[in-house]
């Protein structure tokens, strides 16, 4: 804990030192990526009105109600402090100019597989990176000020990464932090609705997922979403986020993968588990993530089958141990 406090102080000192701060997050952002990135940006804007604070990265893909990105010229990176939130490995950072700054800080809650940056603050016990940013702000009340918009973004990030406070990473601290954020008076009902809302096409795809999931006797689940299915249901890759957690509510499912074929032919693999640890498997297939929620890639159907067999083995071993 003391080490963490020391790093938090060093991060605050760096923030105070630099007049220009540019904040990045991971590609294909989810609510926690945007919440932690722009939540931090809002806190810094309120706390240090004289500093230049930027949020940069690729398209926000359907999460425009949370935040938009800003255009930043290359020249602005000279002499700037760059902070990256919610991103375990440097290839996943959205906008590779993150490396052009004067100093780099990583703030994250994923396993610290690649400790890039001059300062690294990783807390894998936190439910979300948004929880880390909120706690960081509340830790230094003399220096950092929360505002309503930052609270909205950070709350949205926590709701997103905990599956509305359902997943096991939700702790008493998560609830305390969420309660504190809620007291800033943003419209919680509207935010929850925006996070939950889906187009009819995705609702219909949910039906397809339930109808077509294959589950073995040990609870290993597999859903294939080839390009033909995405086209038939008129959904794009980013919208599959809304169906990834669905198999978890089925009694017979223990761990599962949704294989989403990309226009180039390869498959994006979205892995989830109610018990067996799946992030080592993800790492073996060009991915990574949390013990119970990871992502990977399969170059073809042979690798899809390989990954599914590995999930089956994990489920089998898990069931045998019980
Ligand atoms: P997703 O299925 O994309 O929602 O990802 C679930 C978790 O796995 C997230 O916490 C991601 O950070 C992580 N993840 C997904 N894809 C990758 C990847 N290619 N490399 C490393 N981590 C990943």
Residue nearest atom 6 in ligand 1 by C-alpha distance: 294
Tell me the two tokens of residue 164. Answer: 């509305």
Question: Per-residue pLDDT tens for 17-32?
Answer: 999 999 999 999 999 9
SS3 154: helix
Q: What is the DSSP letter of 73?
A: -
Exposed/middle/buried for residue 46 (C-beta within 10 Å: 0-12, 13-18, 19+): middle
Report the CATH number of the 201-321 domain. Answer: 3.10.310.30
pLDDT at 1: 63
Query: Which protein residues touch ligand 1 with a CB less than 6 Å away?
Result: 88-89, 92, 110, 244, 270, 287-290, 293-295
Ligand 1 mean position to 322 CA, how many Å?
28
Which mutation among 131, 288, 292, 297 tests ligand 1's pocket best, with the greatest number of atoms within 8 A of CB?
A: 288
Tell me the two tokens of residue 5. Answer: 């406090």
Residue nearest atom 7 in ligand 1 by C-alpha distance: 294
Q: What is the DSSP letter of 93?
A: B
SS3 42: helix
Instruction: Pick the atom of ligand 1 nearest to 258's CA.
Output: 2
35 and 106 Cβ atoms separated by less than 8 Å: no
pLDDT at 322: 85
Number of Cα atoms under 13 Å in the Cβ half of residue 68: 2
Ligand 1 mean position to 31 CA, how many Å?
13
Residues shown for the chain: 322
Under-50 pLDDT residues of the chain: none
Which mutation among 28, 36, 93, 294 tests ligand 1's pocket best, with the greatest number of atoms within 8 A of CB?
A: 294
Which mutation among 84, 289, 291, 299 tests ligand 1's pocket best, with the greatest number of atoms within 8 A of CB?
A: 289
CB atoms within 10 A of CB 45: 18
* Cα four-point dihedral sign 66, 72, 77, 79: negative
Tell me the two tokens of residue 74. Answer: 């290359």
pLDDT at 155: 98
Ligand 1 mean position to 24 CA, how many Å?
16
Residues paired with 84 in a beta bridge: 24, 106
How would CATH label the architecture of 3-195?
A: Alpha-Beta Complex (3.90)
SS3 189: helix
Question: Per-residue pLDDT tens for 237-273?
Answer: 889 999 999 999 999 999 999 999 999 999 999 999 9
pLDDT at 258: 98
Tell me the two tokens of residue 27. Answer: 């590609």
Ranges in the chain annotated CATH 3.10.310.30: 201-321
Ranges in the chain annotated CATH 3.90.1640.10: 3-195
Tell me the two tokens of residue 241. Answer: 């986020």
88 and 36 Cβ atoms separated by less than 8 Å: no
Nearest to 269 by CA among 252, 249, 286: 286
Q: Is pTM beyond 0.95 here?
A: no
pLDDT at 167: 92
Residue nearest atom 11 in ligand 1 by C-alpha distance: 289
């Amino acid at each position: 804990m003391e080490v963490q406090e020391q790093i938090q102080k060093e991060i605050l000192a760096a923030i105070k030192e630099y007049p220009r701060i540019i904040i990045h997050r991971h590609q294909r952002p989810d609510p926690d990526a945007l919440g932690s990135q722009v939540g931090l940006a809002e806190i810094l804007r309120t706390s240090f009105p004289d500093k230049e604070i930027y949020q940069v990265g690729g398209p926000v893909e359907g999460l425009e109600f949370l935040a938009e990105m800003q255009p930043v010229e290359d020249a602005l990176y000279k002499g700037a402090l760059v902070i990256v939130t919610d991103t375990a490995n440097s290839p996943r950072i959205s906008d590779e100019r993150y490396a052009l700054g004067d100093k780099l800080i990583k703030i994250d809650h994923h396993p610290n597989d690649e400790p890039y940056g001059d300062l690294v603050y990783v807390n894998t016990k936190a439910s979300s990176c948004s929880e880390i940013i909120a706690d960081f702000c509340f830790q230094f009340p003399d220096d950092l000020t929360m505002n309503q918009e930052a609270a909205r973004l950070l709350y949205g990030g926590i709701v997103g990464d905990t599956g509305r406070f359902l997943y096991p990473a939700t702790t008493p601290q998560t609830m305390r932090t969420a309660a504190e954020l809620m007291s800033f008076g943003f419209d919680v009902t509207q935010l929850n609705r925006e996070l939950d809302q889906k187009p009819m096409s995705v609702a219909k795809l949910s039906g397809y997922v339930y109808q077509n999931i294959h589950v073995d006797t040990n609870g290993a689940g597999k859903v294939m979403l080839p390009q033909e299915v995405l086209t038939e249901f008129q959904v794009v890759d980013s919208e599959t986020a809304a169906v990834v957690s669905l198999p978890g509510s089925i009694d017979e499912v223990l761990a599962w993968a949704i294989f989403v074929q990309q226009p180039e032919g390869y498959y994006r693999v979205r892995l989830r588990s109610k018990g067996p640890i799946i992030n080592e498997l993800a790492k073996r297939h060009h991915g990574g993530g949390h013990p119970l929620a990871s992502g990977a890639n399969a170059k073809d159907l042979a690798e899809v089958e390989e990954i599914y067999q590995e999930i089956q083995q994990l489920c089998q071993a898990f069931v045998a141990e019980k």
